[in-house]
Amino acid sequence: MIVARITTLALSLLICAFQVDGKLRRFPDGFSFGVATASYQIEGGWNASDKSESIWDTFTHNSNYKILDGSSGDVACDSYHLYKRDVEMVAELGVDFYRFSMSWSRLMPDGYELSKDGVKYYNDLINELLKHKIQPVVTLFHWDLPQWLQQLGGWSNSLTAKHFQRYARSAFELFGDRVKMWLTVNEPQVFCLHGYGKGLKAPGLDMNGFAEYLCGHTMLKAHAKVYHLYDQVFKKKQKGRVGLTLNASWQQASSNSSNDREAAQRVLEFELGWFANPIFSKCGDYPKIMKDRILWKSQEQGYTESRLPIFTKEELEEIKGSYDFFGLNHYTTRMVKEKSNKSVASKPSFSNDVEVDDYFESDWKESASVWLRVVPWGFQKLLNWIKDSYDNPEVIIFENGFSDREGIDDVDRVQYYRDYLNYLLDAIDDGCNVSAYTAWSLMDNFEWNKGYSERFGLYYVDYNSTIKKRTPKASAHYFKNIVKTKSIEKI
């Protein structure tokens, strides 16, 4: 009891410390806030009812692949059973929307028939959200492909786009009366690169320089098919919006030399432009530099054609403009310089195709994740790059957050949100059209290869307790106040 009181006192002092001297900055009228999660990272219930296996079930159960702490998402936060508590937390935060994903293998175990229990689970979750006046935002694919589709080649098989369309149609029919914002796929760049290129994530294929491009190719086609399906069949009646969300870091040139600036631009084109150009640019298709370099390298390596697949004219037209907004997940920044000793490596790889040297400045604050350093100003630069490259689309931030190994006194996360949100407001002052912001994540969860060792949550999860007890961290109180006042102290 005393301990709890002291902790509460410490927390309120901490929050006050961040609020004393600042001038307040307001978010624009109509700006909305949300929090996000993903099915495999929170649901558990991996074999509940008639659910089939997803590639993440297969991957974590196979000891050839490495999850840092040997864990899996079998139980995770047990949101399959505890979704009411999740919604209660979202309501406590006072946000406008909750972004979650649907598990394809739970909803449609064999890809054709619907699961009664799967449908019930997502109906219950959506209805519980609406009861609390929280808008559901649904990601259709957040990395947990049904395993049977993987056995047919997964995203390297272009027929997967057809299966995806069938699944999406069911989701629109079942839930579209209540769900008004849909994301087709989450971070295709990370999924394809890590899952098909480097073998780090499910499905664990290391076919670098080939398979990630096949994966991306099918995903773009699948996204566009689903966009047009909604547009043609559902939009008039359901009046919702459809897009996708792309992950990107800011890439800062290490000097003003034209070589280094070109190198930084090249990484942005390869990592964000790979998916953004075909959809958001006026001409469509992959970035020119990507097509040129991969063709040139492929020829040098003795291949008769480019390792990057080519879209047909019809496909290009279908993909171009297939969006109602630009979804962005952003966490960090890297320094980039031209590679010192370039080579056409005999073994193809994505990184040899891009071919730069990159690094973090040593004084950038670390997080629990090796890939995530705290560089708030990069957020403003990236948003301006998107504004200038894609004719100032409406941008919705669908993920932004910080990892630690701490408990509820998460001072560093509070500071991360304060600083990143200030630079977001600077970008809005620059004319960037950002309409909403989503914190990743509602609660600590299964962080892919790092298992439960890295925590991203606004709520702390005690994985040892049978009820997976969730407790608000200092950052939850802090974020709640931003949402309530629609303002933040100036840094």
Ligand X SMILES: *[C@@H]1O[C@H](CO)[C@@H](O)[C@H](O)[C@H]1NC(C)=O
* Token couple for 284: 């469509």
Nearer to ligand X, 175 or 182 (CB): 182
Report the C-alpha gap between 85 and 100 in whole angstroms. Answer: 14
- Least Å distance between CB 387 and ligand X? 10
The answer to whether residue 187 forms part of the interface with ligand X (CB under 6 A) is yes
CB atoms within 10 A of CB 69: 12
Rounded to the nearest whole angstrom, what is the least distance from the CB of residue 334 to ligand X in the complex? 7
Whether residue 478 contacts residue 471, with contact meaning beta carbons closer than 8 Å, is answered with: no
Task: Output the smallest distance, CB 461 to ligand X, in A.
Answer: 9
- Alpha-carbon span 268 to 253, nearest angstrom: 11
Q: According to CB under 6 A, which residues from 378 to 397 bind ligand X?
A: 394
Q: Could you write out the DSSP letters of every residue in 289-319?
A: HHHHHHHHHHHHTT-SS-SS----HHHHHHH
Given the residues 43, 128, 271, 399, the one annotated as active site: 399
Nearer to ligand X, 103 or 249 (CB): 249
Least separation, in Å, of the C-beta of 256 and ligand X?
4
Sign of the Cα torsion 262, 263, 268, 271 reads: positive
Buried b (16+ CB within 10 A) or exposed e, 34-50: bbbbbbbbbbbbbeeee
Task: List C-alpha distances in Å: 357 to 45, 192, 364, 369.
Answer: 42, 21, 18, 20
Among 98, 155, 331, 398, binds ligand X (CB under 6 A): 331
Tell which positions 421-460 bind ligand X, by CB under 6 A.
433
Least distance CB 353 / ligand X (angstroms): 14
Q: How far is the CB of 394 from ligand X (least distance, A)?
A: 4
- Position 62 contacts ligand X (CB under 6 A): no
Is residue 249 within the footprint of ligand X (CB under 6 A)? Answer: yes
Gap between the Cα atoms of 41 and 413, Å rounded: 20
Residues of span 85-144 touching ligand X by CB under 6 A: none
Catalytic choice (43, 187, 318, 338): 187
**Cis preceding linkage at 376, omega within 30:** no
Asked if residue 185 binds ligand X (CB under 6 A), the reply is no
Of residues 138 and 190, the one with the C-beta less far from ligand X: 190
Q: Is 179 in the site for ligand X (CB under 6 A)?
A: no
Nearer to ligand X, 145 or 174 (CB): 145
Query: Residue 271, interface with ligand X (CB under 6 A)?
Result: yes
132 Cβ contact partners less than 8 Å away, ≥ 6 residues apart: 87, 88, 90, 91
3-state class of 398 per DSSP?
A: strand
In whole angstroms, what is the distance from residue 394 CA to residue 433 CA?
A: 5
CB of 91 to ligand X, least distance (A): 26
* Minimal distance, residue 392 CB to ligand X, in Å: 6
**x/- site string to ligand X, residues 208 to 247, per CB under 6 A?**
---------------------------------------x
Q: Give one DSSP letter per residue of 442-476, joined into a string.
A: SB----GGGTTSSB--SEEE-TTSTT--EEE-HHH
Residue with tokens 């001038």: 23
Candidate ranges 9-17, 91-99, 248-256, 470-478; the one touching ligand X (CB under 6 A): 248-256
Residue 50 sits in the site that holds ligand X (CB under 6 A): no
Nearest to 484 by CA among 78, 18, 24: 24
Size of the site for ligand X (CB under 6 A): 15
The whole-angstrom separation of Cα 333 and Cα 17 is 27
Counting contacts by CB under 6 A, is residue 255 touching ligand X? Answer: yes
Instruction: Return the residue of 25, 32, 74, 453 that touches ligand X, per CB under 6 A.
Output: 74
| Residue 447 annotated in active site | no
CA 113/CA 60 separation, integer angstroms: 26
* Tokens of residue 64, six digits: 């050839």
- Is 366 a binding residue for ligand X by CB under 6 A? The answer is no
Q: Kindly tell me which of 237 and 405 has the beta carbon lying closer to ligand X.
A: 405
Examine residue 53 and tell whether it contacts ligand X (CB under 6 A): no
Q: Does 262 bind ligand X (CB under 6 A)?
A: no
Q: Would residue 187 show up in a list of annotated catalytic residues for this protein?
A: yes
Listed in order, strand segments (DSSP E) in 204-249 are 241-247
**Which residue type occupies 249?**
S
The site for ligand X (CB under 6 A) is made up of: 47, 74, 187, 190, 247-249, 255-256, 271, 331, 371, 394, 433, 464
Catalytic positions, please? 187, 399
